[in-house]
C-alpha cells in the first residue's frame, strides 16, 4: 500500500492532509460536534441499504415500517420477500432493496451462525471493508458507514454531498468517482475525526454548498476552495 494507489504523491498527500485539517477545523467551528444515533451493526447495515438512492426522510419511514411489521431481523430474513418489499416501499427501489436486505441477512446467518456482525470490531478497516463489500448490494459507502458508526473504525463514507464538496474543495480530483474517494479521504482525514468531519461536510453540503447554487458568499471555506478560486472565469 502506498500513496500512489490514489494517484497522489507523498508531498501532495501531506499538503492535502493539511488542507483537510483546516477545512475540518473551520467546519467544526461552524457546526460543532455532531450527534448521531448509534445502531447495532445489522440494523445499521439494513438502514444504510434502505438509504441507497433516497433521502433520510424516506429511509427513516421505510426503516420504521420495517421494524413495526417484523419483530426481529430473523423474521425479515425468513418472511416472504413481497412482505418485506411492501414494508420498505417509501425508500424507493423496494424491489431491489427487499431481496438485497434478505440476501445480506442470510449471508450473515450462514457465515456467523446468527444475525450479529460484531466480529467486525476485531478486524482491520481493510478486512472489514472486504467482508462487507463481498455481500451482494453492499458497496464502499454502505460498508464505510457500518464500520465508522458502529465500530469506530477510521473509514470515510462518501455520499453525494461528500463527493461534491471534496471535489469542489479540491481534496479529490475531478475524475475521481465516489467509490474511489473513500480510500483517498481515509488518508486525508485528520486522525480520529472521521465521523465528525464526514457529518459536518454533509451538513455543509445541505446548508451552504448546494448542488446547484452553492452559497459561496457566506461560506468560510472560500480561500480553501478550488471551485471558488475558479469562479470568476468559470461562472463569468
Ligand atoms: S466556497 Fe462555495 S463551492 Fe466552495 S465549499 Fe464553499 S459554498 Fe462550496
Q: Which residue ranges make up each domain of the chain? A: 3-34+156-231, 41-151
The residue contributing the CA closest to ligand 1 atom 8 is 209
pLDDT of residue 230: 86
Cα(9) to centroid(ligand 1), Å: 25
Looking at CATH, the fold of the domain delimited by 3-34+156-231 is given as Endonuclease Iii, domain 2 (1.10.1670)
Distances (CA, A) of 1 to 6, 38, 126: 10, 31, 11
pLDDT of residue 131: 97
Contact 61, 67 (CB under 8 A): no
Catalytic residue among 106, 141, 187, 231: 141
Does the Cβ of 27 fall within 6 Å of ligand 1? no
pLDDT of residue 236: 39
Residues 6+ away with beta carbon under 8 Å from 95: 85
Pocket test for ligand 1, best of 23, 164, 209 (most atoms within 8 A of CB): 209
Question: Would you call 153 a catalytic residue per the annotation?
Answer: no
Residues with pLDDT less than 70, the chain: 1-8, 232-236
pLDDT of residue 1: 35
pLDDT of residue 9: 81
Residue 227 CA to residue 189 CA, distance in Å, equals: 20
Phi-psi group of 33: left, alpha or beta (phi > 0 → left; psi -120 to 50 → alpha; rest → beta) = beta
Does the Cβ of 97 fall within 6 Å of ligand 1? no
Cα(179) to centroid(ligand 1), Å: 22
Does the Cβ of 23 fall within 6 Å of ligand 1? no
Cα(205) to centroid(ligand 1), Å: 9
Cα(83) to centroid(ligand 1), Å: 44
pLDDT of residue 8: 56
pLDDT of residue 232: 60
Looking at CATH, the fold of the domain delimited by 41-151 is given as Endonuclease III; domain 1 (1.10.340)
Helices (H), the chain: 10-31, 41-51, 56-69, 73-78, 81-87, 94-112, 125-133, 140-151, 160-169, 178-188, 194-207, 226-234
Amino acid at each position: 500500500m502506498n500513496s500512489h494507489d490514489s494517484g497522489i504523491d507523498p508531498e501532495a498527500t501531506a499538503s492535502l492532509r493539511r488542507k483537510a485539517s483546516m477545512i475540518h477545523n473551520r467546519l467544526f467551528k461552524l457546526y460543532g460536534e455532531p450527534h448521531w444515533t448509534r445502531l447495532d451493526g445489522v440494523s445499521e447495515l439494513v438502514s444504510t441499504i434502505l438509504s441507497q438512492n433516497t433521502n433520510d426522510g424516506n429511509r427513516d419511514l421505510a426503516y420504521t415500517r420495517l421494524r413495526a411489521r417484523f419483530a426481529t431481523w430473523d423474521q425479515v430474513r425468513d418472511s416472504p420477500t413481497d412482505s418485506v418489499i411492501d414494508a420498505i416501499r417509501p425508500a424507493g427501489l423496494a424491489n431491489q432493496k427487499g431481496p438485497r436486505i434478505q440476501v445480506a441477512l442470510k449471508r450473515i446467518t450462514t457465515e456467523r451462525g446468527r444475525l450479529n456482525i460484531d466480529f467486525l470490531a476485531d478486524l482491520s478497516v481493510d478486512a472489514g471493508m472486504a467482508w462487507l463489500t463481498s455481500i451482494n448490494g453492499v458497496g464502499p459507502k454502505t460498508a464505510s458507514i457500518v464500520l465508522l458508526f458502529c465500530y469506530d473504525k477510521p473509514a470515510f463514507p462518501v455520499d453525494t454531498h461528500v463527493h461534491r464538496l471534496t471535489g469542489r474543495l479540491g481534496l479529490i480530483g475531478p475524475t475521481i468517482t465516489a467509490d474511489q474517494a473513500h480510500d483517498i479521504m481515509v488518508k486525508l482525514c485528520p486522525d480520529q475525526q472521521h465521523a465528525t468531519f464526514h457529518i459536518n461536510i454533509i451538513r455543509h453540503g445541505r446548508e451552504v454548498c448546494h448542488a446547484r447554487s452553492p452559497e459561496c458568499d457566506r461560506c468560510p471555506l472560500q480561500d480553501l476552495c478550488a471551485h471558488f478560486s475558479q469562479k470568476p472565469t468559470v461562472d463569468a
